[in-house]
Amino acid sequence: MAMGGSTGRSALIIGGSGFLGGAITRQLLEDGWETDVLSRGNKPTIPGSQVIQADRTIQEEWKAAMEGRTYDLVVDCAGYKAADIESAIPVLKGKCAHYVFISTDYVYASSNQTTYPIRESAATHRDTPYAEGKLDCEALLLAAWNEDSFPVTILRPPHIMGAGKELGCDQVLGRTPDLLSRIRRGGQELQLLNDGQLLIQPVWSREIALCISHLAGMERSWGHIFTFVGPEAVTARRYYEIIAEKLGVELTFESLSIEQHLQSKPGDRHYVRHRIYDTSHLTQVTGYQPHLKLEAAIQETLDWMLAREAKHRS
């Protein structure tokens, strides 16, 4: 039953105008949710959603904007540091029937003791501000659940794909805007670590959105952390081969050793690893099993990039 008294279910997406938040907003709208987006007002709105204009970093402003509003679901795609959660919990307490927080797989540490596929219980690290901030957010939310039954579910996605973000698997190049040109030129324009043999397991933004719609209001998911990835793991080389095939070119690249890469970027030591994960905990608790195909996610992302290319040429 909707907390707000309407006949439909109500959701608030924090960061709902962004890449992932936009996908979640569109999926919830498609599933019949009444969906609001919390925004500072500097991004286009998604048709069908209502914008709640407020800056989450200013607690009093956010609290005033929430006056008289309650939600069956709040999805936080824009929490990056402890202060974000320290303001969210008091603002949303009593106004939110279920809070889903988007964390990241970057919190997982890499060491000689890492066991693959990685589970939620694996060691974490605080070697980067991003990982440290997400872990601080998680800790505050789990404390609120344990101490005050704040209804939180935490998702840790890895590399996310879909229209709105560039392709690239976050190793040497990452999401570079000129990736397609580099693949077309090949050779030294494209570098892959360890001959491209590191495994990755990307997830489509649509898959995350479907999962959130599935587990919304699911009490047995509260207090849990779920690593959330797509159903297919591939080598980075195969990932780029799929893109090259769709572009109609042969993939050529320069292999860069992990040692070479770490000489110039020693802070990347936790990221130059296999990024493959066990999602059995998610399936056991919620019944959701990732199923959307990697190639379809690549195709949607590629189509978006090609359309942007064409627009820039015109």
Note the pLDDT of residue 149: 96
Enter the tokens of residue 72.
């069956």
How crowded is the C-beta side of 207, counted as CA atoms within 13 Å? 28
- Pick the more confident residue, 307 or 2: 307
Residue 132: partners with Cβ closer than 8 Å, 6 or more residues away: 126
Residue 193 dihedral angles phi and psi, to the nearest 5°: -70, 135
38 occurs within a structural domain: yes
Note the pLDDT of residue 226: 98
Which of the residue ranges 4-13, 39-48, 249-258, 287-296 would you say has the lowest mean pLDDT?
A: 4-13
Q: For the chain, where are the E strands, in sequence order?
A: 10-14, 34-39, 50-53, 73-76, 99-102, 152-156, 160-161, 191-193, 199-200, 203-204, 225-227, 234-235, 254-256
270 occurs within a structural domain: no
243 occurs within a structural domain: no
235 occurs within a structural domain: no
Among 225, 218, 205, 223, CA closest to 286: 218
Note the pLDDT of residue 270: 74
Note the pLDDT of residue 246: 97
Note the pLDDT of residue 2: 40
2 occurs within a structural domain: no
Residue 137 dihedral angles phi and psi, to the nearest 5°: -60, -50
143 occurs within a structural domain: yes
189 occurs within a structural domain: no
The stretch 183-194 carries a mean pLDDT of: 86
Tens of pLDDT, residues 287-313: 999 999 999 999 999 999 999 998 888
The stretch 269-286 carries a mean pLDDT of: 92
Residue 175, pLDDT > 90, answer no
pTM of model > 0.75: yes
The stretch 270-296 carries a mean pLDDT of: 94
Note the pLDDT of residue 42: 64
Q: What is the CATH number of the domain that holds 84?
A: 3.40.50.720
Pairing of β 73-76 and β 99-102: parallel
The stretch 53-57 carries a mean pLDDT of: 89
Residue 3, pLDDT > 80, answer no
The stretch 243-269 carries a mean pLDDT of: 90
23 occurs within a structural domain: yes
Domain count, the chain: 1
3-state helix, strand, coil in the chain (%, to 5): 40, 15, 40
The stretch 202-225 carries a mean pLDDT of: 97
Confidence band, pLDDT 50/70/90 cuts, at residue 170: low
Residue 83, pLDDT > 70, answer yes
Among 284, 286, 180, CA closest to 242: 180
Residue 90, pLDDT > 70, answer yes
How crowded is the C-beta side of 27, counted as CA atoms within 13 Å? 21
The stretch 272-296 carries a mean pLDDT of: 96
The stretch 144-166 carries a mean pLDDT of: 96
The stretch 57-79 carries a mean pLDDT of: 94
Residue 14: partners with Cβ closer than 8 Å, 6 or more residues away: 21, 38, 56, 74, 75, 76, 77, 78, 79, 88
Residue 262, pLDDT > 50, answer yes
**Tokens 């015109």 found at:** 314
Enter the tokens of residue 150.
């704040």
Residue 190: partners with Cβ closer than 8 Å, 6 or more residues away: 173, 182, 183, 240, 251, 252, 253, 254
The stretch 213-220 carries a mean pLDDT of: 97
Domain that holds residue 18: 10-162+204-230+278-292
Residue 159, pLDDT > 60, answer yes
Which of the residue ranges 37-41, 157-161, 208-212 would you say has the lowest mean pLDDT?
A: 37-41
How many CB atoms lie under 10 A from the CB of residue 206? 19
Q: How far apart are CA 229 and CA 242, in angstroms?
A: 19
